[in-house]
Chain A
Amino acid sequence: MNPKIFAQLKNDPAYSLSASEREAMRNQLRLRMAQTSRQVPHTSSFWFVYLMRPMPLGALALILTVSASSVSLAAGGALPGDMLYAVKTQVNEKVALALATSPEARADVRVRQLEERLVETEVLAARGALPEEVIEQAIEAVHLQVEETLENANDLVLGGDTKAAEYIHARVASTLTTHGELLTAQAQNFTDGSRESLEALSRVAYTSAEQAQAREIVEETPLLSLQAVAETAEMRAKEQMEQLRDLLAKADVPEETMYTLTNELEKLSGELEVAEGYLAQEDFLSAKVAFEEVDRQAYRADTLLQTAKDIARNTDQEVIIVLGAPETAVVASEPVALRAKSAEPEAATAMTMMMDVSTSTLLLDAPEQAEEVYVPGLQFRLRTEGAN
């Protein structure tokens, strides 16, 4: 008995669904899904607790008409302390994780959920109210999700897909570094215990990013040629650029952010062309490095844009992203000039932050005008329109 013969059964029409059978099953499933969506939500623990509370008849009727889908949808943007936050973390996120069946998909979901905890913290920090338990929860999430994500990456290594594992490591490191920078910058807005808490979270983010980088897989898969690796990097860089372009097209962002990110896209397009040049010359190693750098930069801009949108949506502040090469951003007069140009008389709380993360030194410039914190390659400015 040759066991390999059995594998062929998967292609045997007698042992597989035909295209029409599959289509029929799919349609039937769609129908049943639509029916389920129209049903009144059941009393899950959340609904049960809520419905048990005494309330006016009208309110009860209103709640009963809210479908399960809209509850789930509304919960998507919930923040810690919101009524629907438990639905977001206990239902939506668990379902998303359960639906991801491959190690790669699970890692992807986990990175997004890790990022969600950090963005929630950043939004609350931008609002100025930061309960200690939110920080604790975020620190716990960083530890847990990083561990689990790297475990997923490890599964990929065991399965022989070291490149996919390496990519996951890079994504985790990049996400944590970008948010670590944001949190460090935001900490400067506080003078109380929240400052220490944010700095602590930021340190955890940096340490975990290092942990992800340190675990970078050096083992080279012999079957994967350098050309294939470079081509995968090319595909990822292009997809990431496309995603950033789409996001920017749909986003309602301040003019300065639009200008900055449009320039960034143009710059990255140029770098992409250079990388393609390497590929054409069959210099696969240079091509790989160049594509990965484009991917990293585009992902970082994407992360910043998403976070800026979340903060803007959840606070009364306008968030402006100013990206720049570290050497140009070092010039203190540039952000000051930018601020002077854009600040209206009523925008009295305009603030530009500059900080040297590498030495953790605060470089204060013109402190009588504003607090200046320099972040190499990144300036993140929060401005409250019309405040005081």
Chain B
Amino acid sequence: MKEALQEQFLTLHEEYADVVFRMCLSKVSSREEAKDLAQEAFVRVWERLSKGGEDIENMRAFLFTVARNLIKDHYKRKKPVLARDLPEGAMENVPVAATAETSSEVSLALSAIGALPAPYREAVHLHLVEGYGIGEIAEVLKERPNTISVRIKRGLAKVRVTLRTNTP
């Protein structure tokens, strides 16, 4: 049973490693930190499972919650200034680890998304980058679909405003 669970969990890792990694990458500045956080999220979930995991109802939602909490802890440890505490436009020049293939338009948009307040940023990231529907995002972020819909709408509006302001 345990072996079967381990295999199932590795399948889950295979499926969601990139999603969790990108989720972390959108909130921390370095790739290495994002990898470590993503890795730790999976380890924590496994530890909970191996202790019974009676309280886990939705594995994906639980995994994302663990990752989000780790990111919060990460910030607390580093004591950085949180994006939402920054004045408008302060993160315009946050470097985006994009390759040459990533268009400058996307780079700018990613910077703008990175500058959004956390609740908007998560919803917009999951929607735009991961392609999740509103229902799915509501499920993983444990919010009502209406709330998510509003966050995406307002988040995108803010991104557009930032882009218009910054586009030469």
List residues of chain A with CB under 8 Å of any chain B CB. 1-3, 5-10, 12-17, 21-22, 25-26, 28-30, 32-33, 36-37, 39, 41-42, 44-45, 68-69, 72-73, 75-76, 90-92, 94-96, 98-101
Contacts and interface: CB of A to CB of B under 8 A. Distances in A.
A45 B8 CA distance: 25
Interface in B46-72: 46-47, 49-54, 56-60, 62
A69 B4 CA distance: 11
A99 B105 contact: no
Given A29-B46, A92-B1, A98 B15 contact: no
B49 A95 contact: yes
Given A15-B98, A33-B9, A95-B52, 5 more contacts: A15-B25, A33-B6, A90-B54, A96-B8, A101-B12
A99 B8 CA distance: 7
Q: Please provide the 6 A-B residue pairs with the shortest distance between their CB atoms, ordered closest to farther.
A: A69-B2, A6-B128, A98-B56, A44-B52, A73-B1, A98-B59
B18 interface: yes
B101 A98 contact: no
Instruction: Describe B's contact surface by its main secondary structure.
Output: helix
B54 A26 contact: no
Interface string B126-150: 0011110000000000000000000
Given A22-B17, A32-B43, A99-B59, A6 B53 contact: no
B21 interface: yes
Given A14-B99, A91-B54, A36 B131 contact: no
B128 A3 contact: yes
Interface in B94-137: 97-99, 101-103, 105-106, 109-110, 128-131
A76 B159 contact: no
A207 B49 CA distance: 36
Interface residues of B, number: 53
Contacts of A101: 12, 15, 59-60
B5 A25 contact: no
Contacts of B131: 7, 10
A3 B152 CA distance: 12
A285 B113 CA distance: 50
B121 to A, nearest CB: 13
B56 to A, nearest CB: 4
B151 interface: no
A76 B4 CA distance: 12
B39 A25 contact: yes
Contact of B13 (A8, A26, A90, A94): A26
A37 B50 contact: yes
B68 to A, nearest CB: 18
B57 A10 contact: no
Nearest to A159: B133
Contacts of A29: 9-10, 13, 39, 42-43, 46
A6 B129 contact: yes
A227 B132 CA distance: 31
Given A1-B163, A21-B35, A99 B9 contact: yes
B160 interface: yes
B2 A37 contact: yes
B109 A6 contact: yes
B27 interface: no
B51 A42 contact: yes
